[in-house]
Amino acid sequence: MEQFLTFVRKEFYHIFRDRWTMIILLVLPIMMLILFGFMMSTEVKNTRFAIYDPSRDAATQGIVNKISMSDYFIFSGYLDSPEQVEEVFRSGKIGLVIVFGERFYENMMHTGDAQVQLIADGSDPNTASTLTMYATRLITLYQQDVMGEMKIPYQIKPEVKLLYNPTLKGSYNFVPGVMGMILMLICAMMTSVSIAREKELGTMEVLLVSPMKPIQIIISKVVPYFFVSVVNLATILLLSVFVLDMPINGSLGLLILISLIFIFVSLALGLLISSAVDKQMVALLISAMVMMMPVMMLSGMMFPLENMPLPLQWLSQIIPAKWFMIAVKKIMIEGLGFSSVVKEFTVLSSMAVILIAASVKRFKYRLE
């Protein structure tokens, strides 16, 4: 035990005495969270829009006012001719152009075929569809305001309600993803690099010749990174709640429990990587390429899994971060209890057991 504690203390020295390790472990997670939380959100705010309006009547004016007043759009100006549409898109400053038909108001009130066209830049499909969706909603709202009493006959009026995230906040999707990424990064990358470093420097050889048991070496390597991960988990949760306005609707205890299991999975992955490589650089590359990329691409954090080709969907099943994200969303946002995350729980626990067993078995306590 004495031996073990001495060794754990040594690992903490390694962490605290290296500026870059400290930055990666404690500053990077905060930066990533802020960056993803604020800058990479899919919300489209303050988009400039232009109008081509041959009618210039009360109705078109009302619609323009309605749209300008929303958070999403800023009115930029009127176009003189339809030819200018392409020109303004090319300038890159305009996200949406609204073209009204002629005699808009009269058509709306009498014939019922008032025409309005929404033009958006389709080269960025997500933004384009979000913008047109927002604009359509605002136009429908205006129509309802005007028609109010008059009641248009036979009109279907869908009432859209977005459960759990009524205001469509991007952070709801990103925070669980970033949590998965940061924990994966710290546990897997830092653990594998620190073991590879000992191999590179030759100290691992000295340790293996010593009476220290391999399992002791492994555990004392893992303990400090486990602590740092727990600190990070706390920081991430605090930032999410107080800075990014994320709710924790479910049980905090359950959230912490599932995070701890995920941390074990990541640590075991790091050990597994380190058992295969001898150089810090290789450990770093493998962690980055083989683990970070799939976590970002295949966990559902950036791209919806449902739209992926089947083979990629199958592949995503073995990505631990995917299961972690699903569980975190269920607990944090939907506020569900343990019975709803049993599946994710079981999958992650099994992964943890298998990976820890594999990495302990593979850890070479004799060099050849």
Residue numbers at the binding site for other proteins (CB under 8 A) = 2-3, 6-7, 10, 13-14, 17-18, 201-203, 205-212, 366-368
Cα separation, 171 vs 246, whole angstroms: 7
What is the DSSP code string of 338-352? GGGSHHHHHHHHHHH
Residue 118: strand, helix, or coil: strand
Q: Does the CA dihedral 320-326-332-337 come out positive or negative? A: negative
Cα separation, 68 vs 46, whole angstroms: 9
Closer by beta carbon to other proteins, 160 or else 209: 209
Q: What are phi and psi for residue 70, nearest 5 degrees? A: -80, 165
Closer by beta carbon to other proteins, 173 or else 280: 280
Residue 317: strand, helix, or coil: coil
CB 244 within 8 A of CB 168: no
Instruction: Report, in Å, the least distance between residue 28 CB and other proteins.
Output: 20
Closer by beta carbon to other proteins, 210 or else 317: 210
Beta bridge partners of 100: 116
Instruction: Report, in Å, the least distance between residue 364 CB and other proteins.
Output: 10
Q: Which two tokens stand for residue 58?
A: 């009360």
Residue 156: strand, helix, or coil: coil
How many other β-carbons are positioned within 10 Å of the β-carbon of residue 201?
11
Beta sheet of 73-78, edge-to-edge order = 73-78, 47-52, 96-100, 116-120
Residue 162: strand, helix, or coil: coil
Instruction: Report, in Å, the least distance between residue 235 CB and other proteins.
Output: 25
Which residues lie closer than 8 Å to 62 by C-beta, 6 or more apart?
142, 145, 146
Q: Radius of gyration of the chain from Cα atoms?
A: 27
**∠ CA 293-297-300, rounded to 5°:** 140
Nearest alpha-carbon partner for 321 in 127, 177, 162 = 177
Closer by beta carbon to other proteins, 151 or else 366: 366
Q: Which two tokens stand for residue 122?
A: 């389709």
